[in-house]
Chains A and B, each alone.
Chain A
């Protein structure tokens, strides 16, 4: 299959998946609740409000029409109004997205920087004590609940060692002495643009514990998958040939094998990336991180129905797009993919 054709097919299938996602979110948001209109207004619903929302959402019409109304709203970027904040849900989400992405990118970077070498070292010393040790660490990483690991790190680095801040994204004192101009809303970048080194250090310190907590699970997953892929690659003929030529094992593992193991590893990183998206929810709650997750949890606890349904859709669309991006990136890196 030609590469362009592969990309087009992949884009097309993503569109179908997105339509399917909208049908499922529609079902959960409008069909499952016995009185969707009341859910959308909240606990203080008056009968006339319910009647008004019923008409607005088209809840008195047949299901296909309701779905079209729902899709119409979505295509206009209308995810409804949050009961809690009385502001458009889309605005709430997009204003909090940078904080979550900053955490997500840092966490994933840590996971990859730790996970890939772990997997490679494990494969290099397969069956040896080093391998066993690294594998146990990786399994511990995927067995530790993030919401408990975060608390442990807080006790250790804040309470006992007094090295890192407990929670939040930026110290309150610095808001007056060394404020950051919000340009991108990625505080690391904003502080860097301003050359505000004191603020930059403070932001980085705040980021360490949440990012580590988030990274634990993906790091373990990436390590295990990298190991498996490396072992698979190392059984191939060209590796045996390289060995026969007397090339040193270190060079074989870190150069010849790793190069071909990277493409499948990238898929795993992509999947974990999408997975870590929900991991941020717990991390944000524990570290009081003002992102999507914290907003989500507040919405869940206050039964802010429009917000919850907006988040579900928003998160799923992000998930589909991340997976799409990974596939396209992979087709670009590894020509064998588009031949399948």
Chain B
């Protein structure tokens, strides 16, 4: 009984079902639901940063020295920094590099890593061996260290920080997708497609990759928290966004000198990172308990 439906189900329908499954899992778990709402809210704020921020110009970097180090008040709920800029506005504008860029980093890492993993798993043999040994090499580096080296070779800045993180993150998806592909390869719908002479590239694109999406989504959710931390770390060290543009990690670093008296400068961007990462980790934890992408490794 258990094996028969697996033959009948079309791969596309199946992947649609697992995506719906992910959503239903999230909706049923209150912590995950709240986390999802928080993340959507933050993404919304990041996209409409200049419409939402009370002082959009200060958010972008315009100084207002007469407001230097003002504590939180009604006009400036998060206070002002050394150069008199509204911290709330800077947290809002800083959400772009701190949150949207890591989402892009993970997306690119998936775009590079997943097809390679599917090819490695599907073709097997020396191609598999070759691709996997390359991922071993990249995984032999502490990712942050590799990112730092690439960042300084290319020059500091948010764009290069993002490139550096993509370079150190794609191998994880290659490994994941390769594992899923190997287990899919033995399924009847793939064997059937091969039997009627469908080209390998078509099988990978139409039948393999769509079925790896749920595993990728789960892993990406777990990874996003880590990438946001790494991105924040690079910004904190001065390797990401360059002043006067805001970025959460950079703002924590800028407020460090004043932390004992003017606690608000570092605290609000620090809390923002914590909340977003926590939200991603809570969702990831729930999803992983149910889907566990690691089972394929």
**Chain A interface (Cβ < 8 Å from any Cβ of B):** 16-17, 20-21, 23-25, 28-29, 32-33, 135, 139-140, 142-148, 151-152, 154-155, 158-159, 224, 274-275, 277-278, 281-282, 285-286, 296-297, 300-301, 303, 305, 308-309, 311-312, 315-316, 319-320, 323
Contact A154 B259 (CB under 8 A): yes
Least Cβ–Cβ distance between A222 and chain B, in angstroms: 15
Closest chain B residue to A296, Cβ basis: B148
Contact A145 B273 (CB under 8 A): yes
Contact B145 A144 (CB under 8 A): no
B236 interface residue, CB < 8 Å from A? yes
Most chain B CB neighbours (cut-off 10 Å) among A25, A286, A312: A312
Q: Is the interface of B mostly helix, strand, loop or mixed?
A: helix
Q: 10 tightest CB-CB pairs across the interface, nearest first?
A: A148-B270, A20-B137, A143-B278, A312-B149, A278-B144, A143-B277, A32-B153, A147-B236, A315-B145, A17-B140
Give 13 pairs: A residue, B residue, CB < 8 Å, sorted on A.
Answer: A24-B146, A29-B153, A142-B225, A143-B281, A145-B233, A151-B252, A281-B233, A285-B236, A297-B237, A300-B237, A308-B148, A312-B141, A316-B141
User: Scoring B residues 138 to 178 as 1 if CB is less than 8 Å from chain A, else 0, what string do you get?
Assistant: 10111111101110111000000000000000000000000
Using A147-B249, A148-B266 as known contacts, say yes or no to A312 and B145 having CB atoms under 8 A apart: yes
Chain B residues with CB under 8 Å of A28's CB are 149-150, 153
Contact B277 A278 (CB under 8 A): no
Most chain A CB neighbours (cut-off 10 Å) among B133, B153, B237, B285: B153
Least Cβ–Cβ distance between A156 and chain B, in angstroms: 11
Closest chain A residue to B137, Cβ basis: A20
Q: How many A-B residue pairs have CB under 8 A?
A: 131
CA distance A154 to B266 in the complex (A): 13
- Chain B 208-238 residues near chain A, CB threshold 8 A: 225, 229, 232-233, 236-238
B263 interface residue, CB < 8 Å from A? yes
B282 interface residue, CB < 8 Å from A? yes
Contact B136 A17 (CB under 8 A): yes
B260 interface residue, CB < 8 Å from A? yes
Closest chain B residue to A144, Cβ basis: B274
